[in-house]
Amino acid sequence: MSYKLSKQDVCCLFEKLSEKYDIYAPKRVKNAGRFSETDIVQYDRISDLSEIVWDEKSTYPMKEVLSPIQQTLFYFTEDEYRASKGKTRPMLIFARPCDINAMKIQARIYAGNGGFVDMYYQRMHDLAKYILMPCNGGDDTCFCVSMGTNTTDLYSMAVKPVDDGMLVEVTDEDLAPYFEKAEAAEFAPEFVQENELKAVIPEIPDKEVLNALKKHPMWKQFNGRCISCGACTIACSTCTCFTTRDVIYGDNPEVGERRRVSASCQIDTFAKVAGGGDYRTTAGDRMRYKMLHKFHDYKARFGESHMCVGCGRCTGRCPEFISITVTLRKMYDAVEEIKKELGR
Ligand code: SF4
Ligand code: SF4
C-alpha cells in the first residue's frame, strides 16, 4: 500500500517509529573530510529527519551499521570469557539500492558461506529493516546499472520527499499499523536506469584464461602508483575482511576484550602467514587479488552476482586517483587479448 503524508504526519510517524526502532541514515559530519573545511557523509543514528542527507552519496557505506569498523566480540578475565551482548533494539535503516544489494552479498559471506554463520553479523542482520530512499543516479563514480544493482525489492518501506510531505510505500506488515489513518496515494519507487559512467565487465571463460590474466603485465603498473593504504577497501560496500585485536584493561594482561577490526587486502602485510611466507608482496599482486575477488572469484564460488555493487566509493576515496572502472577496462582489454592469443 502507498500513502501521502503531510509534513506534520511525517514528524509524528518518525516519533512513533523511534519509540520502537533505532533509526539510521546518512548524516553530514562537518569538517571531517580529507581536506580542510570539507565534510563527509556517514551512516549514524539520527534523532530527527532533518539530519538525513538526501541528495548526496554517503562517503562510507551503509554496511558500517551492521558490521562496524570495530566491534567487541568478547570480554575475558584470567580463566573466563563472555560474548558481547550486542544491540537489542530493532533498526530502520535509510538506504539506496546499491547499499541494500551490498547487504545481500555481506549476508552471503558472513552467514551463508559453507554452513558457517557469524553470530555477530547475524544478530545485527536480524534486527535490520530497510527504508528505500530515492537515488538521483549518484555521482560520476557510480555504475550500479552496469552491475545490475540499481533496483531492489528488499525494503520494508520506500519513501520520496515531496514539497508538502512525503510519499511512502509500505511492504512490511509490521509497519502497516503506523499507517492506519494515512491517506492512500499512488506511489511506487523509481530506480535509476542509466549512470553517466558505464563499466565493462570481463568474461573469463576458463582457468587457462584466468591463469594467463594473473600473470598479465597490467598488474605491474600498480606497483608504482598504489600506495597500499587500504582506503578503497575500508570504503567498499561489500568488503568483509577483518582482523582481531585484544584491548587490555590496566596492568593485568589477562583482563580485557577482543575486538574485530576491519582489515584490508591492499595493505602490504595482509597475506603474510606464520613461518614468514607472504603470498602477495607487491601492490600489483594485491590489486589483482582485489579485482579478481570482486569481478570473478565471488561469482565463481556463489554463482550469483559479482561482489561489486558499483557504488564507486573506492574510486572516490583513493588518494592516488585509481579508478575501479578504469582498472576494470584494463582487465577487460587484457582478457580479450589473452582470449585472442589462445584462440577462444
Ligand atoms: S569495489 Fe568499489 S565500486 Fe565495487 S562495491 Fe566496492 S567500493 Fe563499491
Ligand atoms: S585507495 Fe588507492 S592507493 Fe590506497 S590501496 Fe586502494 S587503490 Fe591503492
Q: Are 140 and 107 within one domain? A: yes
Q: Considering the domain boundaries, does residue 70 fall inside one?
A: no
**231 touches ligand 2 (CB under 6 Å):** yes
**Reported confidence tier of residue 294, pLDDT bands at 50, 70, 90:** very high
pLDDT value at position 154?
A: 97
Q: Which atom of ligand 2 sits closest to the CA of residue 233?
A: 6
Distance 323 CA to ligand 2 centre (A): 9
Task: Tell me which residue of 39, 36, 71 sits closest to 58, measured CA to CA.
Answer: 39
**320 touches ligand 2 (CB under 6 Å):** yes
Q: Is residue 45 helix, strand or coil? A: strand
Euclidean distance between CA atoms 107 and 100, whole angstroms: 11
Distances (CA, A) of 50 to 53, 192, 199, 241: 8, 24, 35, 34
**235 touches ligand 2 (CB under 6 Å):** no
Beta strands 128-132; 91-95: pairing state: parallel
What domain range includes position 136? 2-62+85-184
Q: Are 161 and 239 within one domain? A: no
Residue for grid cell 489513518:
181
Q: Considering the domain boundaries, does residue 195 fall inside one?
A: no
pLDDT by residue (tens digit) across 64-115?
999 999 999 999 999 999 999 989 999 999 999 999 999 999 999 998 887 8
Q: Which atom of ligand 1 sits closest to the CA of residue 235?
A: 7
Q: Are 237 and 159 within one domain? A: no
Distance 318 CA to ligand 1 centre (A): 12
Q: Are 180 and 211 within one domain? A: no
Atom 4, ligand 1: residue with shortest CA distance: 308
Q: Considering the domain boundaries, does residue 97 fall inside one?
A: yes
Distance 152 CA to ligand 1 centre (A): 17
**296 touches ligand 1 (CB under 6 Å):** no
Distance 320 CA to ligand 2 centre (A): 7
pLDDT value at position 344?
A: 84
Euclidean distance between CA atoms 186 and 42, whole angstroms: 32
Euclidean distance between CA atoms 314 and 240, whole angstroms: 14
**Reported confidence tier of residue 304, pLDDT bands at 50, 70, 90:** confident
**Reported confidence tier of residue 270, pLDDT bands at 50, 70, 90:** very high
Q: Are 124 and 240 within one domain? A: no
Q: Are 178 and 243 within one domain? A: no
Q: Considering the domain boundaries, does residue 78 fall inside one?
A: no
Q: Considering the domain boundaries, does residue 68 fall inside one?
A: no
Q: Are 114 and 230 within one domain? A: no
Q: Are 172 and 272 within one domain? A: no
Q: Considering the domain boundaries, does residue 311 fall inside one?
A: yes
Residues in the chain: 344
Euclidean distance between CA atoms 216 and 221, whole angstroms: 11
Q: Are 123 and 232 within one domain? A: no
Residues 265, 290 contacting (CB under 8 angstroms): yes
Atom 6, ligand 1: residue with shortest CA distance: 236
pLDDT by residue (tens digit) across 199-208?
999 999 999 9
Q: Considering the domain boundaries, does residue 79 fall inside one?
A: no
Q: What is the DSSP string of 237-268?
A: SS---EEEEEEE-TT-TTSEEEEEEE--TTST
Q: Are 92 and 176 within one domain? A: yes
User: Is pTM beyond 0.75 here?
Assistant: yes
Q: Considering the domain boundaries, does residue 193 fall inside one?
A: no
Our count of domains for the chain comes to 2
